[in-house]
Amino acid sequence: MSVYFISDFHLGAPWIKDKDNQARLFLDFLEYIAQDVEYLYILGDLFDFWFEYRDGFPNKFPEITSKLKELSDGGVKIKFLGGNHDWWVGKSFISLTGADVIKTDTEVSHYGKRIYISHGDGVAKPDWAYRLLRRILRNRVNIFLFSQLPSSIGIILAKIVSSGSRARGEGRSWSFLPYYVIFAESLVGEGFDAVIMGHTHIPQVVEFQDGVYINIGDWIRYFTYCKLDDGGFRLRSFADGTEGNFDFSKLTPPKGIWGI
């Protein structure tokens, strides 16, 4: 049986060009891994925005949440670690998907490997503006006040914030990559065999003497994920609708902008 790690879909983001293809590939992927998946870790930003208001939250992705629930009911252990766009998932999300929700970076163990998992937001210390915003958005008082808003108003505000994130550009993500490697290397030095993160949208595999750092990329441009079985960790791609090796030659700093 295999362990899978995925992140950064941003389902519902207005700036994703081919939303239908993205959703179809994800559903095909979930169907494909059903043959051998034991654990599925979703490391954040599955949704571009998810917040459960007092008047509810419209589930705009019923086919996806239903497929996750089907896997969960079939015995697959789904673990969801919220990202900076969907950290606020709650009882409705749990009911719809059957997932266990993890609120902080955490340690897991599979195949004798000690693994540190994180969405990855806030890792880059120079990104001080976001690190401050993160503390504000996760403050309990602010969360309560935001939950009192009608969902229609909250969703509009969330779109504004998401657009602002996008405007920062992918080039900013590339400039932060060394900080992720340093962060991962320090954890490997503490005894972790692997550090797995998302958030940057840029797939990476960095081998250290005693461990490895893997960034699992995204499902917007690269459709990448990490698979762990008795053969070890592998970064894979589902871009063509089938499992294959990821072509790292595709990783060139882009000219366009899109959000993290």
Q: For residue 231, what is the domain's CATH number?
A: 3.60.21.10
Question: What local confidence, expressed as pLDDT, does residue 260 receive?
Answer: 43
**Cβ–Cβ under 8 Å, residues 84 and 43:** no
Confidence of residue 164 (pLDDT cuts 50, 70, 90): low
Please check whether residue 108 lies inside any domain of the structure.
Answer: yes
In terms of pLDDT, which residue wins out, 52 or 182? 182
Please state at what angle helix 128-137 crosses helix 140-147, rounded to 10 degrees.
60
Please check whether residue 103 lies inside any domain of the structure.
Answer: yes
The overall average pLDDT reported for the chain is 87
Q: CA angle, 47 as apex, 182 and 99 as ends, to 5°?
A: 90
Does the pLDDT of residue 167 top 50, yes or no?
no
Question: What local confidence, expressed as pLDDT, does residue 172 receive?
Answer: 66
- Residues in contact with 87: Cβ distance below 8 Å, sequence separation at least 6, in sequence order: 44, 103, 137, 138
Domain extent, residue 138, equals 2-250
Does the pLDDT of residue 252 top 90, yes or no?
no
Question: What local confidence, expressed as pLDDT, does residue 257 receive?
Answer: 39
Structure tokens at 137: 């958005």
Please check whether residue 256 lies inside any domain of the structure.
Answer: no
pTM of the model: 0.88
Please check whether residue 260 lies inside any domain of the structure.
Answer: no
Please check whether residue 231 lies inside any domain of the structure.
Answer: yes
Confidence of residue 58 (pLDDT cuts 50, 70, 90): low
Please check whether residue 259 lies inside any domain of the structure.
Answer: no
In terms of pLDDT, which residue wins out, 170 or 186? 186
Question: How many domains does the structure of the chain reveal?
Answer: 1
Confidence of residue 88 (pLDDT cuts 50, 70, 90): confident
In terms of pLDDT, which residue wins out, 57 or 209? 209
In terms of pLDDT, which residue wins out, 250 or 162? 250
Q: 7-16, 36-45, 111-120, 232-241: lowest mean pLDDT where?
A: 7-16
